[in-house]
């Protein structure tokens, strides 16, 4: 564990407070390096899957989609190549482990199936760093694109930081299979959005009102909007300027609607 002077400790705590409820426009590793140890109650994230889904993934190549429209133009996600993903994965997990409070969890979305076994790699790296807890299968209901064994599920890997009992706020009836319809994005939305209900599920199970939820890959802002609506404080990073603007607009709109409802 790194040791900081009292002045350094005060500075990093101030950094965290300064960014609560705001989107950090940049690489999450640079942001995390400025956060205090043991300061985050829940990491909830949807990182790149390492499958080049917005670039040369076979699912993008058919001339027509299941909706009968012409194939979508590639919208590459930063860091989504397998080489980038596999190089970054240990850095992400090590960083998450440092900032999580003992007993706190990291809930990390991950591709299910092929063509690369990224779910297996993530589980192993998570176990070597944070500590592996569970793999939750997310049944997306609607069949996705592809060639053989068309994509219908993703996995949410759950890691728990060692050193304290699990910060668990659900009951004993929670299953490791959830069925929530996936979001089919418009061309002006983030290409791989996650349903608000999915984020609500994990925020409810692994945090309480007032806790700090951190999403290092904020995308279009779903985690921030949901966390704020559930009474949690949040931090978020997004490296792509297009999605920073998208998330900020969406968060502002949600806040305005909430204020109108309270009047």
pLDDT digits (tens, 9 = 90+) for 67-112: 444 444 555 666 567 888 889 999 999 999 999 999 999 999 998 8
Q: The domain 38-244: what is its CATH number?
A: 3.40.50.150
Cα–Cα distance measured from residue 12 to residue 148, given in angstroms and rounded to the nearest whole number: 49
Tokens describing residue 96: 């998450």
More confident residue, 151 or 199: 199
| Residue pointed to by tokens 């440092």 | 98
Distance of CA 35 to the CA centre of its chain: 18
pLDDT for the residue numbered 135: 97
262: pLDDT confidence band, cut at 50, 70 and 90? confident
Domain ranges of the chain: 38-244
Distance, CA of 67 to CA of 78 (rounded, Å): 27
- The pTM of the full predicted model, rounded to 2 decimals, is 0.86
- List the single range of 12-21, 138-147, 191-200, 242-251 with lowest mean pLDDT: 138-147
Is 227 in contact with 42 (CB distance < 8 Å)?
Answer: no
Contact criterion met (CB below 8 Å) for 69 and 231: no
Please report the pLDDT score of residue 112 as a whole number.
82
Strands 23-25 vs 153-160: parallel, antiparallel or unpaired: unpaired
pLDDT, tens digit (0-9, with 9 covering 90-100), for 26-68: 999 999 999 999 999 999 999 987 566 554 444 444 433 334 4
């Amino acid at each position: 564990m790194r040791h900081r002077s009292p002045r350094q400790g005060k500075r990093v705590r101030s950094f965290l407070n300064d960014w609560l409820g705001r989107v950090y426009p940049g690489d999450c590793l640079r942001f995390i390096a400025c956060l205090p140890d043991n300061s985050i109650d829940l990491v909830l994230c949807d990182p790149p899957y390492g499958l080049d889904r917005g670039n040369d993934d076979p699912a993008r190549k058919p001339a027509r989609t299941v909706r009968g429209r012409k194939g979508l133009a590639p919208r590459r996600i930063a860091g989504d190549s397998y080489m980038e993903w596999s190089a970054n994965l240990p850095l992400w997990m090590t960083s998450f482990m440092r900032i999580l409070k003992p007993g706190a969890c990291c809930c990390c979305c991950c591709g299910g199936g092929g063509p690369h076994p990224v779910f297996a790699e993530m589980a192993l790296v998570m176990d070597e760093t944070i500590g592996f807890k569970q793999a939750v299968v997310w049944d997306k209901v609607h069949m996705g694109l592809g060639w053989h064994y068309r994509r219908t599920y993703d996995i949410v890997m759950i890691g728990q930081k060692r050193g304290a009992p699990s910060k668990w706020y659900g009951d004993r009836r929670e299953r490791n299979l959830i069925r929530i319809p996936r979001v089919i994005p418009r061309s002006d939305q983030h290409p791989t959005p996650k349903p608000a209900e999915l984020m609500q599920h994990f925020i409810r199970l692994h945090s309480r009102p007032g806790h700090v939820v951190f999403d290092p890959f904020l995308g279009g802002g779903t985690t921030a909007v949901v966390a704020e609506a559930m009474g949690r404080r949040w931090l978020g990073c997004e490296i792509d300027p297009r999605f920073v603007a998208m998330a900020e607009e969406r968060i502002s709109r949600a806040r305005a609607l909430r204020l109108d409802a309270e009047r």
